[in-house]
């Protein structure tokens, strides 16, 4: 479907209005075509100062001003599935009374995308050369990421000195990110009729010791380059059972490990395999390393000084990891409370959207 199937995006009404426009274009992971069309159409119509490239449903727009330094500013276009929380609406926060914009994507992360898109159109003479990236497939397995795809296909576009991800950070700077790993631990048993259970081996019961071990595990707090990261190791899914009268011969527990950026992916894998060693099979199904804060780079320090805030650690995984992997310092800076990301009551403060826009504009100018 082309962008002409929707009203064109209009940044002239400001970043809050643009957030609503973007959110109201449904773009659940795998269905980003319509929003990518709209973003591309806006840039080609209103940003002649940018060179625009499209790769699948990822849009890249860059300046070519010959500045001494360059910065990549990126955000993802997709969301987790909708659950009766679109189109967006405005209403006070029930706890604080603060005006809020509600709906899927308001936090994660179309408010950040709106800020970036408005500034991409507006800023024709920034202090640094800019590579703006709006990409697909962030909310799914890391190997599907549109950002990862364009980094592999167009590495020359990412020869930059610093990167900013517009992920929700409550309008503050969050340095680096934890790594994330998902593993499946499978236990085998022997089927039998439940009336003669002693003739079988219950695979679900065999998994019980692992669940108790996970429940008792105390995750570490690790300081990396002055920021404290909190780890986590949790069961996030379980599969098992054949019928109501059959002793199950298979049970699989899915485990998610969030690990500090001081640990390598190999270290994380080794730890999880050892922790799950009581299982008959252990399979690592998804793994993405973390990113150190990278706050010691001069350009990053100038950004921190311009925003005027003390950076904190990013507990969740974000695509700053992809930049860190190729030696580019990167931070998270965007409107929205990350604890509301993916929630059915997802909501963002319009004031925070505007304040984030002002801070980023001031630094780029």
Residues catalogued as catalytic: 78, 138
Q: Angle formed by the axes of helices 111-122 and 15-23, to 10°?
A: 120
Residue ranges of the alpha helices (H) in the chain?
A: 15-23, 33-46, 111-122, 146-153, 203-216, 265-275, 298-307, 320-325, 350-364
**Residue tagged 């849009």 (tokens):** 59
**Residue tagged 């599935």 (tokens):** 81
Close Cβ partners of 157 (under 8 Å, ≥ 6 residues apart): 53, 60, 62, 131, 150
CA distance 240 to 282: 16
Close Cβ partners of 196 (under 8 Å, ≥ 6 residues apart): none
Close Cβ partners of 250 (under 8 Å, ≥ 6 residues apart): 186, 187, 188, 189, 203, 240
- Alpha carbon of 3 to those of 40, 74, 196, 292: distances in Å? 9, 21, 63, 38
Query: What's the distance, CA 69 to chain centroid?
Result: 26
E strand segments, the chain? 51-55, 58-62, 70-76, 89-92, 99-102, 129-135, 162-165, 173-175, 179-188, 192-193, 221-224, 227-230, 232-240, 246-247, 250-259, 281-288, 312-313, 330-333, 347-348
């Amino acid at each position: 479907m082309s962008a002409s199937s929707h009203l064109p995006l209009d940044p002239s009404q400001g970043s809050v209005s643009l957030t609503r426009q973007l959110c109201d274009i449904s773009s659940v992971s795998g269905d980003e075509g319509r929003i990518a069309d709209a973003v591309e159409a806006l840039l080609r119509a209103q940003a002649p100062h940018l060179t625009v490239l499209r790769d699948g449903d990822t849009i890249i727009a860059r300046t070519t001003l010959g500045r001494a330094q360059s910065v990549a500013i990126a955000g993802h276009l997709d969301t987790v599935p909708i659950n009766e929380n679109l189109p967006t609406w405005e209403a006070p926060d029930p706890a604080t009374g603060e005006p809020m914009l509600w709906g899927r994507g308001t936090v994660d992360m179309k408010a950040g995308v709106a800020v970036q898109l408005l500034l991409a159109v507006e800023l024709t003479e920034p202090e640094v050369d800019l590579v703006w990236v709006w990409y697909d497939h962030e909310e799914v397995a890391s190997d599907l990421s549109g950002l990862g795809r364009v980094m592999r296909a167009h590495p020359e576009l990412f020869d930059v000195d610093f990167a900013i991800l517009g992920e929700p950070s409550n309008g503050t700077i969050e340095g680096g990110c934890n790594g994330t790993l998902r593993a499946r631990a499978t236990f085998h048993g022997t089927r039998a009729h439940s009336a003669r259970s002693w003739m079988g081996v219950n695979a679900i019961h065999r998994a019980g010791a692992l669940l108790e071990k996970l429940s008792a595990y105390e995750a570490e707090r690790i300081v990396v380059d002055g920021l404290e990261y909190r780890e986590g190791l949790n069961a996030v899914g379980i599969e098992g059972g054949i019928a109501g009268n059959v002793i199950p011969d298979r049970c699989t527990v899915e485990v998610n490990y969030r690990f500090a950026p001081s640990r390598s992916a190999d270290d994380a894998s080794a730890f999880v395999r050892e922790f799950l060693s009581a299982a008959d099979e252990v399979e690592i199904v998804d793994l993405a390393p973390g990113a150190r804060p990278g706050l010691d780079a001069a350009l990053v320090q100038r950004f921190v000084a311009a925003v005027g805030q003390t950076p904190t650690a990013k507990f969740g995984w974000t695509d700053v990891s992809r930049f860190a992997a190729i030696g580019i310092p990167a931070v998270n800076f965007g409107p929205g409370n990350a604890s509301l990301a993916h929630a059915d009551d997802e909501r963002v403060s319009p004031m925070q959207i505007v304040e984030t826009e002002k801070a980023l504009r001031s630094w780029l100018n």
